[in-house]
Amino acid sequence: MTIQIIKTTPYADQKPGTSGLRKRVPVFSQPNYVENFIQSIFDSLEGLAGQTLVIGGDGRFFNDVAIQKAIRIAAANGFGKVLVGQGGLLSTPAASNIIRHYKAFGGLVLSASHNPGGPDGDFGIKYNVGNGGPAPEKITDAVYARTKVIDSYKALDTPDVDLSKIGTQQVGDMVVEVIDPVKDYAVLMQTLFDFEAIRGLFKSGFTMTFDSMHAITGPYAKAILEGLLGAPAGTVKNGVPSPTFNHGHPDPNLVYCKDMYDLLMTEAGPDFGAASDGDGDRNLIIGKNRFVTPSDSLALLAANAHLAPGYKAGIVGIARSMPTSAAADRVAEKLGIEMHETPTGWKFFGNLLDAGRVTICGEESAGTGSDHVREKDGLWAVLLWLNILAVRKESVDAIVREHWATYGRNYYTRHDYEEVDSAIANALVDNLRGRLSTLPGQVLNGLEVAYADDFTYHDPVDGSTSAKQGIRIGFKDGSRIVLRLSGTGTVGATLRVYLEQYEPPNGNHDLDVQRALEPLVGITEDLAGIKARTGRTEPSVIT
């Protein structure tokens, strides 16, 4: 086995986005495309010789090809050991746990998350650092700079490594250890939650359905929900990971989980429905007759976390991404704990978690998690909900209503305009950005603008600054409009519009969400001219 140094030429489009590099499979399949990116990552790291690297993916199409390339390049670059999930599988939160648990140097997470997979679908590569979380911008910027000038990569000349059996094997000077993808994660969950109480909940006749969407959480959910917690067989649906997600779209939202939503809205439906995405870090929570928005779920989990053994001492702080509703802020205020507003992207929570400033984090994009790992964690959110339900012995609907009666309700929705021409989308945002300073004090559709800015984040831990993170227009009554371009799309631009309106504890909590937010839709259109500029008459996805 020899180490080969192979000449290559740079690709201009390898800038990591919100969560690593995400492109269509045909893009990743270009000669040396994967190799260039992985070598650029390794070139941007210091001190990797002899260290351990974790590699795992969500099993999507191209996962197997990319893993073998990654192993060859890791061996040639001097890693001492690679830990890889059996079959190349690791959910994103499990990968984060493995990195932390085995004190690895870092990890390669192969996934395009909730995006569809398949030969024409999406793929992605993300580097996570030693704390288990996505690399901070300092590293992703260095990787991008390297991709622009790379002229060779190193790879060990070796046949494909057999990832089907648990155990260790020698690959050149490097050890490859194939591990059970589920075991360590299941152990971690048992340290956080009252499994006995949740077992009791299922024994009492509580019914649940969990949709793994033919993606990575199937094995995890079956082992934990049906295995350790005694939920009846069949509770986990679509539990076998498929490279194409059974030709589906593994995004746990009300569009792609509509059947489950409809079922939960009937009396005959189960008490609780949940789902997770392609790589297992997102979650969807629906109780009987009650969909819980991700923003509300964050607030509810934060308010009730002390009911789970892992958080019984109380939480020290909460962080949410800027576009996430302010529901959690009210919980933090009541608890008298720190509240942080960060840019979109789980990587921005890492410093706060490492510094012990926050315990629970969440995003409107169906992500919730805590300091147990450094990624959002779909099953963790489901288990915390189950723990709360087991202790409170009330329905999801009753718990949500009680929460609103205490803290008020943040009506919230997100309107996405997908695959918009990038130049048009950028012009729309630039134009609005240019007019922001004129907005404060103006009365729009009866609402007075309190502030209008382009969000800049100052990381309180390392002092770094991240500018241009999204346009915020806040109104005197607590309503808010946020506009930003997604950093995870792979074709054109996705314009996201986030709308929020606050209704106090004694207000009306029973309005139709879209109806309640109609005035803000009107203001957004007046300000940004989405219809006129993009030609779209309505959003592609409403969540």
Nearest-5° angle of CA 22, CA 25, CA 27? 80
CB of 488 to ligand G16, least distance (A): 3
CB of 344 to ligand G16, least distance (A): 5
CB of 288 to ligand G16, least distance (A): 27
Q: Per-residue DSSP letters for 280-330?
A: S-BEEEEETTEEE-HHHHHHHHHHHGGGSGGGTT--SEEEEETTS-THHHH
Q: Rank residues 253 and 410 by Cβ distance to ligand G16 and give the closer one.
A: 253
Q: Rank residues 363 and 503 by Cβ distance to ligand G16 and give the closer one.
A: 363
Q: Rank residues 42 and 498 by Cβ distance to ligand G16 and give the closer one.
A: 498
Task: Look at strands 81-89 and 174-179 and give their pairing.
Answer: parallel
Tokens of 224: 């934990």
Non-local CB neighbours of 279 within 8 Å, separated by 6+ positions: 57, 58, 91, 92, 109, 111, 113, 114, 215, 216
Q: Rank residues 270 and 350 by Cβ distance to ligand G16 and give the closer one.
A: 350
Question: Annotated catalytic residue: which of 19, 91, 113, 242?
Answer: 113
Q: Rank residues 32 and 276 by Cβ distance to ligand G16 and give the closer one.
A: 276
Residues in touch with ligand G16 (CB under 6 A): 18-19, 113-114, 281-282, 321, 344-346, 363, 365, 367, 486-488, 496
Q: Which residue has the tokens 């360590």?
A: 184
Dihedral of CA 308/314/320/326: which sign? positive
Q: Which residue has the tokens 């192979």?
A: 6
Q: Which residue has the tokens 């000077």?
A: 173
CB of 374 to ligand G16, least distance (A): 11
CB of 541 to ligand G16, least distance (A): 12
CB of 122 to ligand G16, least distance (A): 10
Query: What is the DSSP-derived secondary structure letter of residue 259?
Result: H
Q: Per-residue DSSP letters for 473-486?
A: EEETTS-EEEEEE-
User: How many other CB atoms sit within 10 Å of the CB of residue 483?
Assistant: 24
Q: Rank residues 288 and 374 by Cβ distance to ligand G16 and give the closer one.
A: 374
Helix (H) or strand (E) holding 83: strand 81-89
Report d(CA 16, CA 144) in Å as an integer. 7
Tokens of 345: 């992207």
Catalytic annotation present for 437: no
CB of 426 to ligand G16, least distance (A): 15
Report d(CA 457, CA 343) in Å as an integer. 7
Report d(CA 386, CA 470) in Å as an integer. 34
Tokens of 364: 């409107």
Q: Rank residues 32 and 253 by Cβ distance to ligand G16 and give the closer one.
A: 253
Contact 390, 110 (CB under 8 A): no
Q: Which residues are catalytic?
A: 113
